[in-house]
Amino acid sequence: MAIVIDQTEKDRRAAARHPEKAHRPDSVMLRKPEWIRVKAPVSREYAQTKSIVREHNLHTVCEEAGCPNIGECWTHRHATMMIMGDTCTRACAFCNVKTGLPGALDADEPDNVGRAVAKLGLKHVVVTSVDRDDLADGGAEHFARTIRAIRAHSPGTTVEVLTPDFLRKPGAVEVVMDARPDVFNHNLETVPRLYLTVRPGARYFASLRLLDRAKELVPSGFTKSGLMVGLGESREEIMQVMDDLRAAGVDFLTIGQYLQPTKKHAAIDRFWAPDEFKGLEAIARAKGFVMVSASPLTRSSYHADADFAQMKANRAAGR
């Protein structure tokens, strides 16, 4: 009986976070294979990271997206900051971030992020955001202010931004690149055939062009993009996306397994096996990416600090 009550409560909370998905039919949630299982977050360092995040009034994608790696990442103090609120103006079928009409921007947020990064002592930080299609610049200036505030509070920290597509608003990526992030990341998420069902508010070629433009603006910088597998894509479609990303000059590709947040989200087509990720990684490296991270638990910001150092070393060595 208790289980039924818990499930009802879980459903109620899910519907409140994603009102646009409430009418969708339930889909069957597949049981996770053993290679997806992760340990519960219990370490002292995890608690310290949480307390610094709360103290500075910040949101993280680690919590909002229900990331399975949070125990490991927060034990190493690697929290990915999610700026511009906790409410997203899009309604992607895979994403667990709350959707709706967001509030006004917090003018103190860039400074708070900068202070938190300094307190966490991060060598490398990833800053992402909800989609803010309601803002005239899609939030580009807020990203730029945040990059500059991190540099002011923690000059030795390298900064990676994982941005939305700014709803294709003219001049937005220029504003972000003017603040010189060390890595500009924008995820394609899936293959073009699945955009209408998985990422309906976005356009595949507009996302590619965003990455291409970021590289054009700062050719010496690094660009990065990510894909989820398990939504029904084929290996050949993924290889085509790799070619498209290389044509846009993208340096770093991440590939991870899609995990279904609730039964109202897009269903998992299948779990790709660890060996299949290794195969994708080998193909991507052969296609010329400077850095590739592909594994079931890979996420855009997973091990981002170590991978950034490796990517720099690879480029310096001409690998």
- Residue numbers of the site for ligand SF4 (CB under 6 A)? 61-62, 67, 69-70, 73, 78, 80, 299, 301-302
Closer CB to ligand SF4, 215 or 224, in the complex = 224
Closer CB to ligand SF4, 99 or 298, in the complex = 298
Q: How far is the CB of 305 from ligand SF4 (least distance, A)?
A: 10
Which residues lie below 8 Å from residue 254, measured CB to CB, with a gap of 6+?
224, 225, 226, 227, 292, 293, 294, 298, 299, 300, 302
Specify the amino acid at residue 128: T
Please classify residue 219 by burial: count the beta carbons closer than 10 Å to its beta carbon, then call 0-12 exposed, 13-18 middle and 19+ buried.
exposed
Q: Which residues sit opposite 29 in a β-bridge?
A: none
Closer CB to ligand SF4, 73 or 194, in the complex = 73
Specify the amino acid at residue 125: V
CA angle, 199 then 127 then 279, to 5°: 60
Closer CB to ligand SF4, 66 or 249, in the complex = 66
Closer CB to ligand SF4, 78 or 142, in the complex = 78
Residues 130 and 96: beta-carbon distance below 8 Å: no
The two structure tokens encoding residue 127: 């800053």
**CA-wise closest residue to 266 among 28, 44, 46, 63:** 28
Residues 90 and 102: beta-carbon distance below 8 Å: no
Taking phi first (over 0 means left), then psi (-120 to 50 degrees means alpha), and beta for anything else, what does residue 235 get? alpha
Q: How far is the CB of 140 from ligand SF4 (least distance, A)?
A: 22
Closer CB to ligand SF4, 67 or 266, in the complex = 67
C-alpha 185/C-alpha 67 separation (Å) is: 18
- In the block, residue with structure tokens 């299949």: 276
Q: How far is the CB of 190 from ligand SF4 (least distance, A)?
A: 18
Torsion of CA 108, 111, 115, 121, to 10 degrees: 130
Q: How far is the CB of 299 from ligand SF4 (least distance, A)?
A: 4
Closer CB to ligand SF4, 143 or 204, in the complex = 143
Residues 251 and 293: beta-carbon distance below 8 Å: no
Closer CB to ligand SF4, 70 or 284, in the complex = 70
Q: How far is the CB of 287 from ligand SF4 (least distance, A)?
A: 24
**CA-wise closest residue to 189 among 255, 121, 240:** 255
| HSE-up (13 A, CA, CB side) for residue 81 | 30
Q: How far is the CB of 301 from ligand SF4 (least distance, A)?
A: 3
- In the block, residue with structure tokens 């039919």: 25
Q: How far is the CB of 272 from ligand SF4 (least distance, A)?
A: 18
Q: How far is the CB of 42 from ligand SF4 (least distance, A)?
A: 15
Closer CB to ligand SF4, 62 or 113, in the complex = 62
Q: How far is the CB of 128 from ligand SF4 (least distance, A)?
A: 8
